């Protein structure tokens, strides 16, 4: 079989360098193979549920690798994929150091296909496109093996792909509100030459970004293979190149002015927010979140820069253009909508208060704290993390004589488990908080050993489908103790813990013939599972709220259960003794909330929008006609859908006003930019019908507990 593979590649790529069979002494193992061996050994030794690399797993890894290289299935041809998949039988031996043919041959083939696509797309984009209803394209193909079978099919697939991109650019030019009007057709088509040119620029930049990757082409392709290998263990085990790690560390520096966002270049070329730095301008705005995709940047007084096709280095260069000007950052949210946020750079200080509290002042005085992430001050042992900051804000709120507290952890993707545990301890007197199970050990209980609480009054915790990991541990613990009413929608469903390990021999058993590689990367490895104090797990299932609210984003969330290779949900048999508080009046609270929601215009709109989700959100298996009318109609439907969402946010609540604490008011008098951000946050809270309903729920809780 290997002979037939070699014949395919040698016929296709005459210049390809074949690694000959030789004695694999230490000095003869190529650096990238050394890194593959190190990655394999680190995962084998440290992963919670390691897998045996056999032919079946090798095939899954190779399919994922192909998908990372060619997510739209336009570069490779069907015979390419068939030949690559033949390596499923020999890949385990290659990872064990016996040979090294797979990665060099795929890398060379991929380079040839990129150059071919660059030349062909340039030629196809020289001629005007005609858009006919009879011509269709299928995107996000679910069948991993659906590639062009012949050269003729290959050209046709590229022609359709470029037409699709051109149509996308055409409709993006115009006001989406009126784009479906009949007289808009000719106006839109008049821009076809310019948009073809733009698509050519995007395509060339995309290919150039791969071929001239800062890490080097071969190293970049190897990193994708390592990511595919890691992802076969579970969704949260990730390979990080040294450059990725260096960029992450640089983003944590507090020595320079920053917007407080850490960027990542996704496999499809999108520039995504990978992290929002606690205390930074983006964090304070509460409008930029992990997973948002940057689409445009505009410095004050300058022209807007479209980021289509831009790589991460270009984007970071633009972000460094000025230290003092205001920047408009346009992002595409997880629901597909666009949002523009204006920010100024700030020096991020370790001693800065990065959690802010507010007072909802109506018939009851309720404290409100939003916590978008469980940070721990960047692993600085001399600093305090989010639990300490939340505690400080609660003390401020208690001085304001609040009657109840709302803790908002929606869109909180987790972070430091220690901080999550410490935060739970703020609200619980003492006792077990969760169970952690590391590979090869007995489950152990994580406890709150500090007797007493900082806040013991009525508590509501807001969650949604993006509340994950440490957020879920916090919500589950407070729910199991009957300490808080959990409000919102089911959480993400991630109950695993990870650590970042360097790929060196200190984290593996001795590796024969492999010497330490100082340029090797890192692996974020899943090393544990987390359980509730009841012994059950939120893995895959998430935490079910006590009071369910219709979720405007329910059709957009990617939950843990949707990911391939996600670890299963199970339970631990260990008996855990804890003393729950008296049961909360959940049934009464749920019924009262349901009655209000049934007559609330905003929630009625949310339910309707969730029921009439437009087809464009279901494109995974949809065949799309390549003609202008369809794209105009789709753009108009998208506009109307998002416009409906914005309208439900226009009405501000009349049942309370949102105020700062007295201590914050004093600080804001001396900070004009901070006041600008604060005013925006006040308005955002004032217009949130989710926070409004949470306010009513905690009001019901206070009354029910008083009347017991």
Check whether 13 has a pLDDT greater than 50. Answer: no
- Cα dihedral 550, 551, 552, 557 sign: negative
Check whether 25 has a pLDDT greater than 60. Answer: no
The pLDDT score that the predictor gives to residue 323 is 66
Q: 59-68, 148-157, 170-179, 406-415 — which is least confidently predicted?
A: 170-179
Range 255-347 classified under CATH 2.30.42.10: yes
Helix (H, G, I), strand (E, B) or coil at 165: helix
Q: 409 near 386, Cβ under 8 Å?
A: no
The pLDDT score that the predictor gives to residue 184 is 61
Helix (H, G, I), strand (E, B) or coil at 687: coil
Most confident of 2-11, 249-258, 556-565, 604-613: 556-565
Q: 117 near 44, Cβ under 8 Å?
A: no
For residue 14, give every residue at least 6 positions away whose Cβ sits within 8 Å of its Cβ, in sequence order, or none: none
The pLDDT score that the predictor gives to residue 255 is 46
The pLDDT score that the predictor gives to residue 385 is 81
Q: HSE (CB half, 13 Å, CA atoms) of 125?
A: 27
Check whether 482 has a pLDDT greater than 50. Answer: yes
Check whether 19 has a pLDDT greater than 50. Answer: no
Nearest-angstrom CA–CA distance, 285 and 297: 17
Q: DSSP alpha helices (H): ranges in 241-354?
A: 242-251, 281-285, 312-319
Average pLDDT for 558-569: 94
Residue 39: name the closest of 247, 229, 214 by CA: 229
Confidence of residue 393 (pLDDT cuts 50, 70, 90): very high
Pick left, alpha or beta for residue 625 (phi over 0 → left; psi -120 to 50 → alpha; otherwise beta).
beta
Average pLDDT for 260-264: 89
Tell me which residue has tokens 């000719």. Answer: 186
Average pLDDT for 651-680: 89
Check whether 17 has a pLDDT greater than 50. Answer: no
Structure tokens at 500: 């970042």
pLDDT tens per residue across span 123-181: 999 999 998 778 998 876 666 678 999 999 999 999 999 999 999 888 877 665 565 55
Nearest-angstrom CA–CA distance, 470 and 390: 15
Q: 403 near 501, Cβ under 8 Å?
A: no
Mean pLDDT of the chain: 86
Beta strands in 626-685 (DSSP E): 656-660
The residue ranking higher by pLDDT, 251 or 101, is: 101
Confidence of residue 188 (pLDDT cuts 50, 70, 90): confident
- What are the residues facing 659 on neighbouring strands? 359
pTM: 0.83
Vertex 238: Cα angle to 233 and 239 (nearest 5): 115
pLDDT tens per residue across span 518-559: 567 899 999 999 999 999 999 999 999 999 999 988 877 789
Nearest-angstrom CA–CA distance, 586 and 582: 12
Write the secondary structure of 475-529 as one string of H (helix), E (strand) and C (coil).
Answer: HHHHHHCCCCEEEECCCCCCCEEEEEEECCHHHCCCCCCCCCCCCCCEEEEEEEE
Nearest-angstrom CA–CA distance, 20 and 585: 72
Nearest-angstrom CA–CA distance, 44 and 53: 10
The DSSP output letter for 235 is T
For residue 461, give every residue at least 6 positions away whose Cβ sits within 8 Å of its Cβ, in sequence order, or none: 406, 407, 408, 409, 474, 475, 478, 484, 485, 486, 487
Residue 233 parent element (H or E):
none
CATH topology of domain 357-706: 2-enoyl-CoA Hydratase; Chain A, domain 1 (3.90.226)
Structure tokens at 691: 């926070």
Tell me which residue has tokens 């042992």. Answer: 381
Nearest-angstrom CA–CA distance, 178 and 450: 61
Q: 66-70, 277-281, 506-510 — which is least confidently predicted?
A: 506-510
Check whether 284 has a pLDDT greater than 70. Answer: yes
Structure tokens at 34: 């050394």
The residue ranking higher by pLDDT, 89 or 2, is: 89
Residue 167: name the closest of 517, 489, 630, 601 by CA: 630
The residue ranking higher by pLDDT, 413 or 22, is: 413
Residue 162: count other Cβ atoms within 10 Å of its Cβ. Answer: 20
The pLDDT score that the predictor gives to residue 140 is 65
Check whether 336 has a pLDDT greater than 80. Answer: no
The pLDDT score that the predictor gives to residue 639 is 81
The pLDDT score that the predictor gives to residue 519 is 64
Vertex 669: Cα angle to 663 and 673 (nearest 5): 115
Nearest-angstrom CA–CA distance, 178 and 40: 55
Nearest-angstrom CA–CA distance, 137 and 163: 9
Average pLDDT for 344-361: 76
Average pLDDT for 348-356: 59
Compute and round to an integer the Cα radius of gyration of the chain: 27
Average pLDDT for 451-466: 95
Cα→Cα distances 234→224, 244, 528, Å: 16, 20, 12
Q: 702 near 403, Cβ under 8 Å?
A: yes
Can you spell out the DSSP letters for 59-89? HHHHHHHHHHH-TTS-SSBHHHHHHHHGGGT
Q: 46 near 230, Cβ under 8 Å?
A: no
Cα→Cα distances 195→166, 172, 198, 435, 535, Å: 6, 10, 5, 56, 57
The residue extents of the domains of the chain are: 2-231, 255-347, 357-706
Nearest-angstrom CA–CA distance, 521 and 498: 16
Check whether 616 has a pLDDT greater than 60. Answer: no
Average pLDDT for 441-469: 93
Helix (H, G, I), strand (E, B) or coil at 553: coil
pLDDT tens per residue across span 106-116: 999 999 999 99
Can you spell out the DSSP letters for 291-349? TPEEEEEEETTS--EE-TT--HHHHHHHHTS-SSSEEEEEEE-TTS-EEEEEEE-EE--
């Amino acid at each position: 079989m290997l002979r037939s593979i070699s014949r395919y590649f040698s016929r296709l790529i005459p210049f390809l360098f074949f690694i000959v069979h030789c004695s694999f002494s230490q000095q003869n193992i190529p650096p990238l193979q050394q890194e593959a061996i190190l990655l394999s050994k680190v995962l084998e030794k440290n992963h919670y549920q390691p897998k045996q690399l056999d032919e079946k797993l090798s095939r899954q890894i190779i399919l994922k690798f192909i998908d990372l290289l060619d997510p739209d299935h336009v570069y490779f041809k069907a015979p390419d994929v068939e030949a690559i998949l033949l390596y499923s039988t020999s890949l385990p031996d290659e990872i064990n150091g016996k040979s090294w043919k797979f990665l060099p041959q795929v890398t060379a083939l991929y380079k040839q296909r990129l150059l071919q696509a660059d030349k062909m797309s340039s030629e196809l984009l020289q001629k005007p496109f005609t858009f006919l209803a009879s011509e269709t394209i299928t995107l996000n193909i679910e069948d991993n093996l659906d590639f062009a079978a012949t050269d003729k099919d290959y050209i046709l697939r590229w022609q359709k792909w470029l037409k699709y991109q051109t149509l996308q650019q055409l409709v993006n030019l115009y006001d989406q509100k009126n784009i479906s009007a009949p007289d808009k057709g000719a106006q839109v088509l008049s821009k076809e030459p310019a948009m073809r040119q733009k698509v050519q620029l995007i395509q060339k930049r995309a290919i150039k970004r791969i071929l001239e990757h800062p890490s080097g082409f071969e190293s970049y392709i190897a990193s994708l293979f390592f990511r595919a290998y890691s992802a076969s263990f579970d969704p949260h085990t990730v390979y990080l190149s040294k450059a990725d790690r260096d960029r992450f560390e640089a983003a944590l520096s507090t020595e320079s002015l920053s917007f407080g966002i850490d960027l990542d270049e996704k496999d499809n070329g999108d520039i995504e927010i990978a992290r929002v730095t606690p205390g930074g301008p983006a964090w304070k705005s509460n409008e930029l979140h992990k997973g948002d995709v940057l689409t445009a940047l505009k410095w004050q007084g300058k022209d807007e820069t479209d980021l289509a096709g831009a790589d991460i280095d270009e984007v970071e260069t633009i972000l460094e253009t000025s230290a003092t000007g205001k920047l408009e950052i346009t992002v595409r949210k997880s629901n597909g909508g666009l949002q523009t946020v204006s920010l100024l750079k700030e020096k991020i200080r370790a001693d800065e208060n990065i959690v802010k509290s507010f007072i909802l002042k109506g018939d009851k005085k309720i404290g409100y704290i939003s916590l978008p992430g469980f940070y721990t001050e960047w692993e600085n042992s001399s600093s305090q993390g989010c639990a300490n900051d939340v505690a400080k804000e609660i003390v401020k709120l208690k001085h304001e004589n609040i009657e109840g507290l709302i803790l908002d952890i929606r869109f909180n993707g987790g972070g430091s488990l220690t901080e999550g545990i410490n935060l739970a301890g703020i609200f619980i007197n003492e006792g077990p908080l969760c169970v952690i199970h590391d590979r090869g050990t007995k489950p152990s209980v994580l406890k709150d050993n500090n007797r007493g609480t900082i806040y013991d009054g009525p508590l509501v915790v807001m969650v949604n489908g993006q509340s994950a990991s440490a957020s879920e541990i916090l919500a589950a613990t407070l729910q199991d103790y009957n300490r808080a009413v959990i409000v919102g929608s089911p959480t993400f469903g991630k109950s695993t813990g990870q650590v970042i390990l360097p790929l060196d021999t200190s984290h593996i058993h001795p590796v024969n013939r492999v010497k330490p590689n100082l340029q090797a990367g890192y692996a974020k490895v899943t090393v544990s599972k987390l359980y509730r104090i009841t012994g059950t797990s939120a893995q895959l299932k998430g935490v079910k709220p006590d009071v369910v609210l219709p979720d405007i984003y329910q059709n957009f969330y990617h939950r843990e259960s949707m990911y391939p290779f996600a670890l299963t949900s199970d339970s631990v048999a260990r008996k855990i003794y804890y003393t729950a508080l008296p049961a909360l009046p959940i049934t009464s609270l749920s019924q009262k909330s349901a009655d209000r929601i049934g007559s609330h215009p905003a929630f009625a709109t949310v339910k309707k929008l969730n029921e009439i989700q437009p087809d464009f959100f279901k494109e995974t298996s949809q065949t799309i006609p390549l003609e202008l009318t369809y794209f105009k109609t789709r753009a108009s439907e998208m506009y109307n859908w998002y416009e409906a969402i914005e309208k439900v946010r226009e009405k501000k609540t009349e049942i309370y006003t949102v105020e700062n604490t007295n201590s914050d008011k004093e600080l804001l008098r001396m900070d004009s930019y901070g006041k600008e951000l604060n005013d925006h946050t006040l308005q955002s809270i004032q217009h949130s019908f989710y926070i409004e309903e949470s306010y009513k729920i905690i009001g019901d809780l206070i009354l029910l507990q008083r009347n017991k």
